[in-house]
Amino acid sequence: MDGSATFPDVTLAILAGGQGTRLGGAAKGLLTVEGRTTLERLLALGSHFADVVLVANAPEPYARFGARTVADAVKGKGAPGGVHAALGAARTPWVFAVACDMPFVTEAAARVVLDARAEDVDAVCFEREGRCEPLLAAYRAGLVARWGEALAEDPSMRRVLLRFRTRTLPEAALRAVDPQLRALANVNTPEDLVRYGVTLPAR
C-alpha cells in the first residue's frame, strides 16, 4: 500500500455498472470528457488512495488501462452487488465507491466524505432531495459478510444502508467545495452527454 497516499487506509472502487443501454450500449468508462475517458479521470484520482479496484462484469473494454479488476461475487444485484464486490476486494479498512460514469469527482469531494468517518460509523454518503447518494460514498470493508447476506433480499441501496450505521451528509457539505454538485453528476442519457460536454467512444 502506498504510505504517501492522501487516504492511506482507503481503496478507491470504481463501479463499471450496467450496459449503457440508453447510450446505445456504450461502455460508460470510455465516455470522453475534456479529452480523457471518464475511467482515466477516475484512475488519476486513484493517486490519492492506497489502492484502486475496478468492479466490472464485462472487463474487456477496460483491459488497456491495467486496473486491478474484479467481477460481482453475487450477480444481478446492480449497485448493491457492485459495492459488495468492492468490499470483498479491498485491501484496506475502507472503500470509497464511485461510478465510472461520474467524470467530475474530485479529491476535495472525497475528502468531505472521508473526513466524516468515525469509530461508530460504517458508511458515509450524501443526502440530496431526501435520497442518499450511494456512489460517492465511503464504506467499511468489514461490512462485506453482512452486506452479502443483505443481497439475498434483492434490496435497494437505501435498504442496505439502513442495516448499518450510516452517516448522511447534507448537500451543503459538498457545495462548500463543489458549488454546482458536479461530483454527483453521472452520465446516463443522451441529454446528459449534452449537459456535461461528454462524447461517446468511437465504434
| Domain residue extents for the chain | 7-186
As to burial, measured by CB atoms within 10 angstroms (0-12 exposed, 13-18 middle, 19+ buried), residue 71 is middle
Over range 171-200, report the average pLDDT. Answer: 87
pLDDT (tens digit, 9 = 90+) per residue, 162-172? 999 999 999 99
pLDDT tens-place string over residues 58-68: 899 899 999 99
CB 7 within 8 A of CB 75: no
Identity of the amino acid at 166: T
Selection from 108, 79, 74, 91 nearest residue 18 by Cα? 79
3-state secondary structure of 106: coil
- The answer to whether 9 touches 183, Cβ cutoff 8 Å, is no
Strand-pair partners of 163: none
Assign 1 a pLDDT band (cuts: 50, 70, 90). very low
Q: What is the mean pLDDT of residues 2-18?
A: 84
- Rounded Cα distance between 177 and 106, Å, is 9
CA 109 distance to own-chain centroid: 12
For 7-186, give the CATH class: alpha beta
Taking only the tens place, the pLDDT of each residue in 112-128 is: 999 999 999 999 999 99
Cell numbers 451543503 correspond to 172
Q: What is the pLDDT of residues 12-46, one digit of tens each?
A: 999 997 555 455 566 888 888 888 899 999 999 99
Beta pairing partners, 196: none
Per-residue pLDDT, 96: 98
